[in-house]
Amino acid sequence: MRRSTPKHSTVQWLLARLALGSMGAKRAGRHGNRRAHPWPTSAAQVGRGHAGLTTSSNLRAAVFGINDGLVSNTSLIMGVAGATGSAHLVTVSGVAGLLAGAFSMAAGEFVSMSSQREFFERQIREEQDELERFPRQETEEMALIYQSRGIPLPEARKISEILMRDPKSALQAHVREELGLNPADLGSPLGAAVASFTSFAAGALVPLMPYLLPLHGEAPAGVAVASSAALFAIGATINALSGQAPLRGGFRMLGIGAAAAAITYGIGALLGVSLS
């Protein structure tokens, strides 16, 4: 006689995972993952190893900001340096490029993130309204979603009914499963704007530093060295964070930045000759 598992304990186990939005998010035995996986002892520990920087919208804004600041201001400085031999003019242009780019990035990121957050919040309000007006239909929708994940329909309906007893848990589950959103992580417009401003300014400051230091005629070479090192470091860091080969990312970023700087320097030199 085949031994059966009590349905109540099965439902409780499935409910604990589904309520946290972790059903289907993990796959055991991933190739290349050599890290030890600690045994979870509480719901708060679930997904802790995957949270933080990899899911932060502020990190995305910071990465794009520092990369844009470095590439754009390096290109600007090299273009002006190719057109004129005036270190003062190059410095003023670099400072102007830093401030203009940083404010532009911050404003754009704030507007973009605000619009995105408002859109997500509207979707959540609509889902909450549907839960209040059509609870039976929403319960069945959630059951069908769980059935598509491999849970037998009778147990899926039981899980959905249990979730619907708590309006907050029901809303979170429906938002995660139907909309694919995490209600607790919709993004911060102010945080993204600050991250964009500071990171762009930091990146744009790198090629400007040789002109702020007493390097005299060696400033253009200093820009090339400092920017090349920073580009390689950024590319390697991005690849390392995404689990890719750091050297490949470093050389790829270095090649892109060097090409942009070389083109703008050449155009600046041609303009400088034609205008002189």
Predicted pLDDT at 56: 52
Predicted pLDDT at 42: 57
Predicted pLDDT at 205: 94
Predicted pLDDT at 8: 46
Closest alpha carbon to 151 in 23, 58, 1:
23
Q: Are 102 and 69 in contact (CB under 8 A)?
A: yes
At 148-201, the pLDDT tens digits run: 888 899 898 998 898 888 888 888 888 888 888 887 778 788 888 888 899 999
Q: Among 60-69, 109-118, 262-271, where is mean pLDDT lowest?
A: 60-69
pTM for the model: 0.67
Burial class (CB in 10 A: 0-12, 13-18, 19+), 29: exposed
Mean pLDDT of 235-244: 84
Question: Average pLDDT, whole number, for the chain?
Answer: 79
Q: Where are the domains of the chain?
A: 67-118+193-275
SS3 153: helix
At 78-123, the pLDDT tens digits run: 888 888 878 889 999 999 999 999 999 899 989 988 998 899 889 8
Mark residue 6 as left, alpha or beta (left: phi above 0; alpha: psi -120 to 50; beta: remaining): beta
